[in-house]
Amino acid sequence: MLIIAHRGASAYAQENTLQAFDLAFKFGASWLETDIQRSTDGVLVLYHDYNLKNGKRIKDCNYNYLKKFNIPTLTDLLKITPQNFTLNLEIKNDDDIYPGIEKQILAEIKETKNIKKEQILISSFSVEALQKIRALDKQINIAILTRNFEIKTPLSLKARSVNISVKRVNKNIVDTCHKNGLKVLVYTVNDLQTYHKLKRWGVDGVFSDNPMLDLPLFFALGGTK
């Protein structure tokens, strides 16, 4: 079962930073997940929450301010991503707070020379954002993030996978997705007992803060329970 470095190797370094990404590469991960937003001056930045810890909104800050908080850009990540490595890019765009971000992301992916488009999986909780991605690009890989699973939407988007919380997934969902040609990726899994249960269910991959989750020396390496 695939293990996807959740916001990088975030058990070992500040999440969604170049340090966390670099550690994921060094630990031998082959997939990495991160979150995309946009600064007020139009830079695509990698950060999960809509607000900084000081309460300021990402969308209201320019990049010169954001980089003080060790927040990298999508360009930064694309430059250091190894060949044959897959990136799961989650668009944070609830209520369309970043108009046009979908087109901007696709343009930046197209410009990079480091990895191929086939190595990108774009996901979002926003169905509207994914619909825009699909309208702009018929081939790029899409994953729908869902809190309330139903099969119609991912099929209409021609999605590659359904990305779902470990708190909501069950064997029936996994079986339904597989019968319809969809993979199932589950977040966030940081303990071996859950990992092995999901593996028995046939889950295709899990997002983990520790990309070495399934190694025998996991606990000795400082993994989170």
Catalytic residues: 6, 48
Phi-psi region of 96 (alpha: psi -120 to 50; beta: other; left: phi over 0): left
Does residue 216 surpass a pLDDT of 90?
A: no
Q: What is the rounded distance in angstroms from the CA atom of residue 206 to the CA atom of residue 166? A: 9
Rg (CA), the chain: 17
Predicted confidence at residue 74, as pLDDT, reads 98
What structural domains and CATH numbers belong to the chain?
2-37+74-208 (3.20.20.190)
Q: Please tell me whether residue 10 adopts helix, strand or coil conformation.
A: coil
Predicted confidence band of residue 222 (pLDDT cuts 50, 70, 90): very low
The answer to whether the beta carbons of residues 109 and 117 sit under 8 Å apart is yes
Predicted confidence at residue 224, as pLDDT, reads 41
Percent of all residues in the chain with a pLDDT value above 90, rounded to a whole number: 91
For 43-62, how does the pLDDT look when each residue is reduced to its tens digit (9 = 90+)?
Answer: 999 999 999 999 999 999 99
Half-sphere exposure of 217 (CA within 13 A, CB side): 3
